[in-house]
Copies of this chain bind each other. A is one copy, B any other.
Amino acid sequence: MTHYKSEQEFLSSYSIHDFDVPLVSVDMSIFSIIDDELQVLLVKRADYPEKGKWALPGGFIDLKQDSTLDDTAQRKLRDKTGVDTPYLEQVGTVGAMNRDPRGWSVTVAYMALIAADSVVLSKDSSSEDVKWVPVFQLAKLDKLAFDHNQIFEMCHERLKSKVQYTSLPVNLLSEEFTLTELQSTFEIILDTSVEKKSFRRRVLDADILEETGNMKTGSNRPAKLYRAKEQGKDHLFPRSIEGPR
């Protein structure tokens, strides 16, 4: 890909306006729990437009390579993180005349949940840098490229809302985990405390976990290790987690 000297130069050579078709891309919020915080993966843009700004990873559909939209998302995720079989969910689509200087553009937002320990970060040609950013810092610090702050917010809202009534967070943990670790990821995402007994009743009664037979030891009572019965699926609870009264 050619590198242009200025956004001006870049735009003047861009001719998508000539065809009555919008641009289409995929952008994703890749979430993970790192250092007991919910973090999201950002890339620094290597090209115009918005060169040098931090952005959600994403890009255009490869009409030859991708046979579905989900393939595009999967490919983008693999390129940045090396992770291949994550939890991947389409969140929504934003399209507008003026969200991209190249013209009418549509982007399909995805969110991915991955276990931090399974990741090997890597840059590709479209990004000069990659980093994890704690979600609570994002609102204050970074003004992302395009409307990515808004797209990220959609994904974050979806995540928080689904955590209230599904077992989604199992996808943020490595294969084996304790109930306390699982509870902790719920608490981190919901940013509230969850009552231990209710939590265990809820999760165990749902019959979505199975004991691995292993224990996690430390300088205290060992904890049973569990694994999700159906990888990648999320159970729907009949009622929401309500939090403290």
Residues of A within 8 A of B (CB): 16, 19-24, 60-61, 63, 66-69, 72, 90, 92-98, 103-104, 106, 108, 238-240, 242
* Nearest CB of chain B from residue A103's CB, rounded to whole Å: 8
Query: Residue of B at shortest CB range from A238?
Result: B240
Within the assembled complex, what's the spacing in Å between the Cα atoms of A90 and B154? 13
A22 touching B97 in the complex, CB below 8 Å, given contacts A106-B69, A238-B242, A239-B239: no
A66 touches B238 (CB 8 A): no
* Nearest CB of chain B from residue A154's CB, rounded to whole Å: 11
A238 partner residues in chain B, CB cutoff 8 A: 239-240, 242
Give the copy number.
2
Query: Residue of B at shortest CB range from A103?
Result: B63
A68 touches B95 (CB 8 A): yes
A242 partner residues in chain B, CB cutoff 8 A: 238
A67 partner residues in chain B, CB cutoff 8 A: 96-98
A68 partner residues in chain B, CB cutoff 8 A: 95-97
CB within 8 A of A61: which of B16, B22, B240? B22
A240 partner residues in chain B, CB cutoff 8 A: 238-239
Within the assembled complex, what's the spacing in Å between the Cα atoms of A90 and B24? 17
Ranked 5 nearest A-B pairs via Cβ: A69-B95, A93-B93, A68-B96, A67-B97, A63-B104
Q: List 16 A-B contacts (CB under 8 A).
A: A16-B21, A21-B24, A22-B63, A24-B24, A24-B95, A61-B104, A63-B97, A63-B103, A67-B98, A68-B97, A69-B94, A95-B108, A106-B106, A106-B108, A238-B239, A239-B239
